[in-house]
Structure 1
């Protein structure tokens, strides 16, 4: 018993450090400096060759640069950027490993050394160059605005959008351009271009800013859309480049060498762009959502894995901190209050990103799935702790006294008298928490975990259909939550029967 208490105390002491601000952790001692240097060395050419693979960050939702298709029943990532990444890996003599996540998370992943390079149709803007280094531009592009074809007579230049709503992808160059040069319009940013196209077709926005290559892809696959060139003024290099972590000159040089070779042989225009167009054309012919049923199946599996593990660990954490909060020990009580209040006072998305990018910078190579489960478990534990505490407090203290008068220890009284009754009382509240957890698992898609919402977004990219994949995902979530509700109701009936018996 004494060892268990010591273990619980150790967990409680260490937990706050997991959620300490990144700056505090960085300034605690010089160890963080050496850690950063070690991380920089991880991204060097020598380290990549020794590791035998280069980790490439991408978004995989941006045809023709990077997107997912089905070929012979097998899902694969294709596009200009995917081909470039494979060639870079080949020139380095290593394998290419692609790590997919939201576009606005890619530079964070690069800075925290989750990936070695980012190849995602990224423009080398001066603002981004402050945080990362860039290769030479490998493919030039203009900036267009996609509009509904029925309204093409209304829009010819930027001034025509005054008083209108303009959409752009969060964290993109297009977002910055619209913000700076379309001040008469209202700017709406979303994480996914697919969602912006849905907003355009449902008239939530009047135009979507994107590069011309991407715009042509959407227009070619949707005859209700039209792309116009409003002539944005672009400073610096115009086009797309490979992003590399700061102070990695060897990797920048190796990347430029690959790009120079490809440009010399005109490989982008002769091979990569036509190949991407071919995949897009095939996708248009077979772009029914049902052809991508295995995407949804894979998403369901990951969603259930996240939910099951998070429920298990969340309940354990909740029970531990419920006991801590009821403890007469001031240290344990204070730690429990701090944990519960802090977790409940911060958004789960921030917690997920902090665990993956923040703690992941200290604990190298933490998988996104593991980081997601840890974050969701910690989040759930705070709510479960309060549910358990309220259930225990609802039990008449006279039952505790009666148990002690029968010779039971506090431990036995808690185990055989208090907790069984408390569990019956809190079962509906626990059920609600578990159902919420199943739905909130979609948040981990921001760090590239391939759960249901993530797979739905891939289907949107591959099929150029916005609303229908979302409808299917919505129905799947309903079936999962309805089934879980039936299961929890069955458990509640069993508990009630045991009480009556």
Structure 2
């Protein structure tokens, strides 16, 4: 294990989590627009539970209960991060779609387009300009939140640096990990701003 491999584990957790989050969160957001009350109630409760409980507790439930028989803490970590992210992505997608003038949907329906065609051809292309920057910020948040996975014995960047600190009896590994996180977040933030600027330029 090294800083490089532990950093790759951190990226794997982040990419796996955000992928699950985007897929599941988008599905939840679109289903809510169908306005089926029992289903919307379940989705709302799911989002409230995820957002209302600590990520660490969710992670421990998956690692020590749901995935206990599989002995795959990395997978448990990815799934826990993904489900946690999905609750936030669902709100991001919903807000992005709601930001589009409702008259756009009415005009599309008046032209004879069905709901799904209107959403795909008219609403989503406009909503995505608001959704993508917010998703980039969610990716950055998730990257930082991976630091809790060491509590279930996943050797990410934080856990590795803590282990190294205990072995060497020095704080330098922790400080070096902090620098890596900081530089990574600065890079991700820069890329997110470039993406947002490009989307605004295309308006």
TM-score range, shorter chain: over 0.9
Q: Root-mean-square deviation (CA), in Å?
A: 1.4
1:368 correspondence with 2:60: no
SS in 2 for 1:395: coil
Aligned to 1:476: 180
Residues 320-343 of structure 1 show CA distances to partners (whole Å, capped at 9, x for unaligned) of 111222222122211110110010
SS, match of residue 85 in structure 2? helix
Partner of 2:35: 328
The 2-side partners of 1:374 and 1:333 are apart by 23
Structure 1: which 4+ aligned runs deviate by more than 4 Å? none
For residues 438-466 of structure 1, the C-alpha deviation after alignment (integer angstroms, 9 at most, x for no partner) is 00011111111111001101110221102
Runs (5+) with no aligned partner, structure 1: 1-74, 76-294
Where 1:302 maps in the other structure, the secondary structure is: helix
Q: Does 1:354 align with 2:58?
A: no
Matches of 2:26 and 2:175, distance apart in 1: 37
Which of the pair has more CA radius of gyration? 1
Whole-Å Cα distance in 2 between the matches of residues 416 and 319 of structure 1? 17
Give aligned pairs, total: 203
- Report matched runs for 1:26-65 at 5 Å: none
- Counterpart selection for 1:455 from 133, 152, 160: 160
CA distance, structure 2, for counterparts of residue 323 and residue 332 of structure 1: 12
Normalised TM-score (structure 2): 0.94
**In structure 1, what is the Cα distance between the partners aligned to 2:59 and 2:103?**
43
CA positional deviation for 1:389: 0.9
2:136 pairs with 1:431? yes
* Cα distance in 2 between the residues matched to 1:490 and 1:366: 40
Cα deviation for residue 366 of structure 1 reads 4.3
Distance 2:94 2:190 in 1: 25
Quick one: higher RCO (CA 8 Å, sep 6+), 1 or 2? 2
Residue 393 of structure 1, aligned match among 98, 111, 115: 98
Q: 1:486 aligns with which of 167, 180, 190?
A: 190
Superposition pairs of residues 257-272 of structure 1, within 5 angstroms: none
Choose between structure 1 and 2: higher helix proportion: 2
Query: Retained in 2: the 8 A contact 1:299–1:452?
Result: yes
CA 1:366–1:494: 2 relative to 1, 3 Å? farther
**Which is strand-richer, 1 or 2?**
1
Q: How does 1:21-420 map to 2 (within 5 A)?
A: 295-361=2-68, 364-420=69-125
After TM superposition, the score normalised by the length of structure 1 is 0.39
Distance 1:333 1:472 in 2: 45
Native 8 Å contact 1:384 1:430 kept in 2: yes
